[in-house]
Amino acid sequence: MTLQHRRLSTNCAVRVSPICLGTMNFGPATEEPDSWAIMDRALDAGVNFFDTANVYGRAFWTREPTGHAGLTEEIIGRWLAQGGRRERIVLATKVYGDMRTVTDEPDRASGLSARRIILDCEDSLRRLQTDYIDLYQMHHTDRDCPVDEVLEAFHTLKRQGKIVYMGSSNFAGWDIARYAERARQLGSPGLVTEQSVYSLQNRAIESELVPACRHYGIAILPYSPLAGGLLAGVRAGADSGKTARRATRTNDHADQVARYEAFCKDLGAAPATVALAWVLHNPVVAAPIIGPRTMEQFTSTLAATELKLDAQALAALDDIWPGPGEAPKNYAW
């Protein structure tokens, strides 16, 4: 299998694999040797796009959190330190989340102050054992912080050679617009990507975020493209690692899941493969982010890059998992 790499977005020329390796499980759910093995396998398979965040390393989904913020970046950093890897990957990380488990400074709580961005970038570089970050992303919007302050901090890092591109995550459509327009007014580089939750089951961003990103040439990096395991074949016993919550969500969507899995069976493709292929069919999407806990989970995702869904299949999936439509036509004339 040969992956067909693509431009990250129309706003930049770097080419990435159509699958992005998400690393949130590395540390709290996947031991370091297994994490290294998955990254090695990804690189061998042609996956050159890796995503992490400064806060990753805590097991957010457990009643008693384990690990610590920064652990995942540390694991990746030790993997990179073996040599021969850094130049082969497009490395993305994020800033915003509460890092006070690492430092008690008040300004290291969640947010995007210029000081916070600069300091957290230095910390991520140290943990990742690299001199630069290819894609530095705001993990969330901070509406208490002026856009100019955020842009200036990112552009300072860019001028220093510490970051290459700027991205966002969990933005609304109007956040995309205000950042893009202000960057244009300042004559400075703006966003190249937006990372957002997106799947067949959760299509909310199609209303306003997708059109906004399309207009400004910003690519979408969907996270949770399997809807927390709901689209991964849960009726057949697929393990998402979040069994109780998965069971509740499956019950809430029992009829749709049954129809979906029957459709996948008739198509002759695994439900997870279909779900990822559907996300990939959207031209605004650069690469869905998959977050495997095991080697088997990673390997199973690669088939999605070869599955092409025709118009009939897409229409059938729309019937099972209808989207909201684009604003304002979805709520006004």
Residues designated catalytic:
56
Closest CA to 23 of 64, 51, 3, 45: 51
Decide if 261 contacts 239 (C-beta within 8 A): no
Q: What are phi and psi of 19, to 5 degrees?
A: -125, 135
Q: How far apart are CA 291 and CA 283, in angstroms?
A: 22
Amino acid at 83: G
Decide if 176 contacts 138 (C-beta within 8 A): no
Q: What are phi and psi of 145, to 5 degrees?
A: -110, 130
User: Which residue is associated with the tokens 């909310």?
Assistant: 204
Token representation of residue 3: 């992956």
Q: How far apart are CA 192 and CA 10, in angstroms?
A: 8
- Cα-Cα end-to-end distance for the chain: 46
22 to each of 53, 208, 273, 322, 326, how far by Cα in Å? 9, 25, 17, 27, 28
Decide if 211 contacts 189 (C-beta within 8 A): no
